[in-house]
């Protein structure tokens, strides 16, 4: 067992302070390494993906047997619909990406979140391959690709071929609401700030029932902190759902494989049996109506 003496603590602390003094130098050096476009903006072109388990639950959570549970004789057990998945369907733990740890739901919105969680199989848009909205698209367990020129920015996501163009001139109020919303981006120094509004109220934030509701404004901040890392933040504001604006934060990692390319996950056809199987002439599941 190691016992730290006051002297050793002091040495470590001094070393720590010394290192902290170097941080601006390191960041400055990193800034110089950031690739830039002809116009001098950080060049984010490439394939990116998050690490971690925010797609399961953006709040801190311990591992649990499954997303859908049912009462058991001793403790709750996985629901019949997901039982066959075994450990593959279990939820890994996560330390959360919500700054401050907890989403500031209004009481009725919190009740809706809890209902969502209870009825995940029926309600989660991801299960039906619906477009994920923002910011959920960012941290789904699929990569996405940023296409950035000085006049245009677009992001295409592997999941469901979700797409959004980020307009560099303010398009005004959205003409119609949509799943991925309307995005307007501006550079704030080296940070690309994107205002997303006009989203339908049906999108979720994760598989744990967290949601934003109709009328949400998401303000994203993309800051390259090295050639291969972007610090991603999204402030979420909806006074109908939350007591105050709140923020998620996580790093995005570049896929540095020189052969990396975005895959195709057009999942619409994968969910046809789930959504329409009961309407077959001869239902496979024997539940035709």
Binding stretches for another protein (CB under 8 A): 37-38, 45, 125, 128-131, 145, 147-154, 156, 161-163, 165, 167, 171, 175-176, 178-180, 259, 261-262, 264, 266, 268-269, 272, 275-276, 279-282, 288-289
Where b means 16+ CB within 10 Å and e means fewer, 96-129 reads bbbeeeebebeeebeebbeebbeebeebbbbbeb
Strand partners of residue 192: 187, 222
Q: Which is nearer to another protein, 66 or 224 (CB)?
A: 224
CB of 11 to another protein, least distance (A): 48
Cβ proximity to another protein: between 97 and 166 the closer is 166
**Which residue, 11 or 280, has its beta carbon nearer to another protein?**
280
> Rounded to 10 degrees, what is the CA torsion of 264, 265, 269, 274?
170
Shortest Cβ distance from residue 224 to another protein (Å)? 16
Q: Which is nearer to another protein, 45 or 49 (CB)?
A: 45
Min CB(36)–another protein separation in Å: 11
Give least dist CB 147 to another protein, A.
Answer: 4
To the nearest whole angstrom, how small is the minimum distance from the Cβ of residue 197 to another protein?
14
Instruction: Quote the least distance from Cβ 132 to another protein, whole Å.
Output: 11
Say if CB 86 and CB 97 are below 8 A apart.
Answer: no
Q: How far is the CB of 252 from another protein (least distance, A)?
A: 17
Judged by CB, which is closer to another protein: 172, or 189? 172
**26 three-state secondary structure:** helix
Tell me the C-alpha distance between 222 and 164, whole Å. Answer: 15
Judged by beta carbon, residue 27 or residue 39, the one nearer another protein is 39
- For tokens 């109220």, what's the residue? 201
User: Phi and psi at residue 213, in whole multiples of 5°?
Assistant: 90, 165
Q: What angle do CA 248, 250, 253 make, to 5 degrees?
A: 150
SS3 of the chain: helix, strand, coil, percent, to 5:
25, 30, 45
Nearer Cβ to another protein (11/152): 152
Beta bridge partners of residue 234, listed in sequence order:
220, 248
């Amino acid at each position: 067992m190691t016992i730290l003496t006051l002297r050793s603590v002091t040495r470590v602390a001094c070393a720590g302070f010394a290192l902290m003094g170097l941080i601006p130098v390191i960041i400055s050096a990193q800034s110089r390494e950031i690739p830039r476009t002809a116009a001098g903006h950080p060049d984010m072109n490439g394939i990116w993906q998050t690490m971690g388990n925010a797609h399961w639950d953006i709040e801190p959570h311990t591992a649990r047997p499954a997303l859908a549970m049912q009462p058991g004789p001793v403790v709750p057990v996985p629901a019949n619909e997901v039982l066959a998945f075994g450990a593959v369907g279990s939820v890994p733990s996560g330390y959360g990406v919500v700054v401050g740890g907890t989403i500031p739901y209004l009481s009725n919105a919190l009740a809706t979140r809890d209902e969502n969680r209870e009825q995940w199989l029926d309600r989660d848009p991801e299960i039906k391959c619906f477009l994920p909205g923002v910011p959920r698209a960012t941290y789904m367990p699929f990569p996405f690709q940023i296409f950035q020129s000085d006049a245009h920015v677009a992001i295409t996501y592997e999941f469901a071929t979700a797409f959004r163009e980020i307009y560099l001139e303010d398009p005004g109020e959205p003409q119609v609401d949509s799943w991925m919303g309307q995005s307007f981006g501006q550079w704030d120094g080296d940070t690309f700030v994107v205002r997303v509004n006009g989203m339908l109220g049906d999108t979720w934030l994760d598989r744990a029932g967290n949601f934003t509701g109709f009328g949400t404004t998401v303000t994203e901040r993309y800051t390259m902190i090295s050639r291969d890392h972007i610090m991603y933040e999204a402030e979420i504001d909806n006074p109908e759902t939350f007591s105050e604006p709140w923020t998620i934060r996580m790093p995005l990692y570049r896929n540095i494989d020189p052969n990396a390319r975005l895959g195709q996950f057009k999942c619409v056809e994968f969910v046809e049996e789930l959504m329409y199987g009961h309407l077959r002439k001869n239902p496979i599941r024997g539940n035709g109506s």
